[in-house]
Structure 1
Amino acid sequence: MSPTPITEMTDRARAIFRLVVEGYLESGQPVGSKTLAGGSGLNLSPASIRSVLAELEQRGLLAAPHTSAGRMPTDTGLRLFVDAMMQVAEPTDHERAAIRQRLDEKGPIEQALEEASALLSDLSGAAGMVMVPAREPRLAQVSLTALDANRVLAILVAEDGQVENRILTLPVEAMGTSLEQASNFLTARARGRTLAEAARSVAAEIASERSALDEASRDLVARGIATWTEDSAKRPVLIVRGQAKLLDEMALGDIERVRSLLDDLESKQSVASLLERAREAEATRIFIGSENRLFSLSGSSVIAAPYRDREGRVVGVLGVIGPTRLNYARVVPMVDFTARQLGKRIGQMEQS
């Protein structure tokens, strides 16, 4: 169901809708008409409020979990609130200082990523997630050896001494000199570069016909580079911290939802696929409940933002996952600030 445009709601309906959503996000419980009439400053009778609540329910923005209970926002209602009504609360000076301090601690990049995940969990009260980019070593040598008429063994030697073997399925018509020429060509262009960087350079040189390769070697290199480029997109590593915080008293009242959420988190590749959708976003993205198939059963929300290296390239995504009653106004800017600080930390590590 498409969210009702905010302009189609009366001032009274907007005020009551906001109070219901904010009350639910604070308590995790449905909000009733008596509560709204008692301390909200609406100056409306419970009967008048109930009439507006019924209208908002018909619009698909609110739902009543039980006949005698109050209302709570639907996923559609939460989306409307987040997109059109929410006023974000920037991280406090104390929170900013805590984020900077923990991410500035000396250590390897892996430690900074672990800290970012744990930090988001601590500050949000939910589970923190960081998707770690696949890190490619810089190459020192590339060697190609024919296995049979259709397969080539590529041996990649990194500057740090690591050796990786990859088998390429290629229709090799001319072995011998073509393989030797292709190996020398690749080593010269790949030395000191990552595989992805070498692939771009080699592809550009071949496309511009500046290479001195013969036709057989050129075809071999082009096919090999295409295969490597696809293969280099290794499965990202997902660091999740704070799962235990999802098991609060209210969550335990719906143990099936909690179990479903924890199962989703165990399937890290699926979660990483969802986070990939935030890679191209300029700002923090919010995925609410049933809007994404992965968390439709557990009724969970994800707030995610990309983090970048010192050249501005997106290298990963971090975020928070928890129940749909997350404090979006507080968590969204917190995730955004953490992503920017992690990017600065990565930039400092790359320079040193």
Structure 2
Amino acid sequence: MAGLAVCERSFYILFMAGPNVNELSERARDVFRTVVESYLENGEPVGSRTISKMSGLSLSPASIRNVMQDLEELSLLAAPHTSAGRMPTETGLRLFVDGMMQAGRLTAAEQQAIESQSKADGPVEEAVANTTAALSGLSACAGIVHVSKREPVLNQFGFVSLSEQRALAVLVGSDGTVENRIVDLPHPVPASTLNEAANYISRRLSGLTLEQATARLQEEIGHGQAALDAAAQDLIARGLATWSRDNAARPVLIVRGQANLLDETAAADLERVRLLLGELEGKEEIAQLLDHARDARATKIFIGSENKLFSLSGSSVIAAPYHDGDGQVVGVVGVIGPTRLNYARVVPMVDFTAKTLSKLVS
């Protein structure tokens, strides 16, 4: 991983298990780093002879084997029964990520690929989803974004008759977004009532969220201040209720790029991939996992069994919060992939995407 800048430990440390980096000898650190970086690049256990040829350590294969044995006793390396080589354990990966990893920089083309999706015309939700898809493509992982529920702020409201017992409610939000919902009516409503209800909402409820608008409507009706007939009151209540129910049921987790998990290495580990794809169906559980990254100062990394949700598939999650113009966390974006991720490359991608989404929602 030549040419990479040394990580400044800005990444949030989840926990440290096993020895500290400083407790390892210089020789052990060099061998350990070589094993991990080779494994993350190739996905194969690394043997002592390979290390002696590629590392420039000036150590014999026998000396390297002795060091690797010591690292294995510290639970930092493991030897698969089918191979004489070693690979990092989850404990070893955590030690490497927190104490030894060198973080790369995104190229101008990679930055452009992410930023261009956030600037596309259309609803904010679509831009967030497209930006996450760009992250997925660049990282070769499944991209995930947890969007906080935010009620639209009313600007204008209108009703259009569709039939005697159905109307189309048109909401224009304060951010310029326009959304439509179909409202079922218990009895026919004349055009004059539709206009009366729309004018009342635009005049009296503009600038309020759906919850605030519903509360004010109930208050003014209760105090006889609404100046609306019963049909208009019912129509407004139904319109606001339809929007509130829809907003509450709106999915808050977007997953993009699951197909990236089926790469050329998947054939050798189909069971792990099958488990991971099944885990991705549990969107509520994933959302709860991402909530743990909301308070992180920067990018947070979950490796394998460190999180219960992905312990079976042995997958890793890299996630970072993004903020609105007031600095409040409004969501979390990240990726899910095998523990054999190129963390040094993917972590700055997730970090840059979070900053891009922060600009988008500010």
Identity %: 60
CA deviations 1:161-180 (Å, max 9, x no partner) are: 9799xxxxxxxxxxxxxxxx
CA pair 280-197 structure 1, distance change in 2 beyond 3 A? farther
CA pair 130-8 structure 1, distance change in 2 beyond 3 A? same
Q: Which residue of 1 aligns with 2:37?
A: 22
Runs of 4+ in 1 over 3 A off after TM superposition: 157-164, 195-199, 232-236
Q: Partners of 1:198 and 1:278 in 2: how far apart? A: 32
Q: Which residue of 1 aligns with 2:294?
A: 279
Q: Which residue of 1 aligns with 2:176?
A: none
Residues 177-216 of structure 1: matches in 2 within 5 Å? Answer: 192-194=207-209
Uncovered stretches (5+) of structure 2, i.e. residues with no partner: 1-15, 156-168, 173-179, 184-203, 217-222, 224-246
Structure 1, 334-343 or 14-23: larger mean CA deviation: 334-343
TM-score (norm 1): 0.73
Check whether the contact 2:47–2:86 (CA below 8 A) recurs between aligned residues.
yes
Q: Which residue of 1 aligns with 2:324?
A: 309
Question: What is the Cα deviation at residue 31 of structure 1?
Answer: 0.8
Q: Which residue of 2 aligns with 1:288?
A: 303
Q: Which residue of 2 aligns with 1:257?
A: 272
Check whether the contact 2:320–2:350 (CA below 8 A) recurs between aligned residues.
yes
Uncovered stretches (5+) of structure 1, i.e. residues with no partner: 141-156, 165-188, 203-212, 214-231, 348-352
Check whether the contact 1:18–1:81 (CA below 8 A) recurs between aligned residues.
yes
Q: Secondary structure at the residue paired with 1:322?
A: strand
Q: Secondary structure at the residue paired with 1:295?
A: coil
Question: What is the Cα deviation at residue 195 of structure 1?
Answer: 5.8
Q: Partners of 1:316 and 1:291 in 2: how far apart? A: 22
Check whether the contact 1:318–1:335 (CA below 8 A) recurs between aligned residues.
yes
Q: Which residue of 2 aligns with 1:12?
A: 27
Q: Which residue of 1 aligns with 2:46?
A: 31
Q: Which residue of 1 aligns with 2:186?
A: none
Residues 114-125 of structure 1: matches in 2 within 5 Å? Answer: 114-125=129-140
Opposite residue 321 of structure 1, the aligned amino acid is I
Question: What is the Cα deviation at residue 289 of structure 1?
Answer: 0.4
Q: Partners of 2:329 and 2:212 in 1: how far apart? A: 15
Q: Secondary structure at the residue paired with 1:253?
A: helix
Check whether the contact 1:138–1:158 (CA below 8 A) recurs between aligned residues.
no
Q: Which residue of 1 aligns with 2:127?
A: 112
1:338 is the counterpart of 2:353: yes
Check whether the contact 1:139–1:158 (CA below 8 A) recurs between aligned residues.
no
Question: What is the Cα deviation at residue 278 of structure 1?
Answer: 0.7
Question: What is the Cα deviation at residue 309 of structure 1?
Answer: 1.4
Q: Secondary structure at the residue paired with 1:270?
A: helix
Q: Partners of 1:254 and 1:99 in 2: how far apart? A: 30
Opposite residue 44 of structure 2, the aligned amino acid is Q
CA deviations 1:178-202 (Å, max 9, x no partner) are: xxxxxxxxxxx98623367899xx9
Check whether the contact 1:308–1:314 (CA below 8 A) recurs between aligned residues.
yes
* Alignment equivalent of 1:270, drawn from 276, 285, 303: 285
Residues 7-86 of structure 1: matches in 2 within 5 Å? Answer: 7-66=22-81, 68-86=83-101
Q: Partners of 1:112 and 1:286 in 2: how far apart? A: 25
CA pair 301-109 structure 1, distance change in 2 beyond 3 A? same
- The size of the alignment, in residue pairs, is 284
Check whether the contact 2:291–2:332 (CA below 8 A) recurs between aligned residues.
yes
Opposite residue 70 of structure 1, the aligned amino acid is G
Q: Secondary structure at the residue paired with 1:304?
A: strand
Check whether the contact 2:133–2:256 (CA below 8 A) recurs between aligned residues.
yes
Q: Secondary structure at the residue paired with 1:320?
A: strand
CA RMSD of aligned residues (A): 3.1
Q: Partners of 1:78 and 1:136 in 2: how far apart? A: 41
Check whether the contact 1:131–1:236 (CA below 8 A) recurs between aligned residues.
no
TM-score (norm 2): 0.71
Q: Partners of 2:263 and 2:152 in 1: how far apart? A: 42
Question: What is the Cα deviation at residue 131 of structure 1?
Answer: 1.4
Check whether the contact 1:289–1:300 (CA below 8 A) recurs between aligned residues.
yes
Structure 1, 51-60 or 100-109: larger mean CA deviation: 100-109
Opposite residue 257 of structure 1, the aligned amino acid is R
CA deviations 1:219-278 (Å, max 9, x no partner) are: xxxxxxxxxxxxx98675211111111112222211111110000001111111111111
Question: What is the Cα deviation at residue 282 of structure 1?
Answer: 1.5
Q: Which residue of 1 aligns with 2:338?
A: 323
CA pair 98-67 structure 1, distance change in 2 beyond 3 A? closer
CA pair 158-194 structure 1, distance change in 2 beyond 3 A? farther
Question: What is the Cα deviation at residue 63 of structure 1?
Answer: 0.7
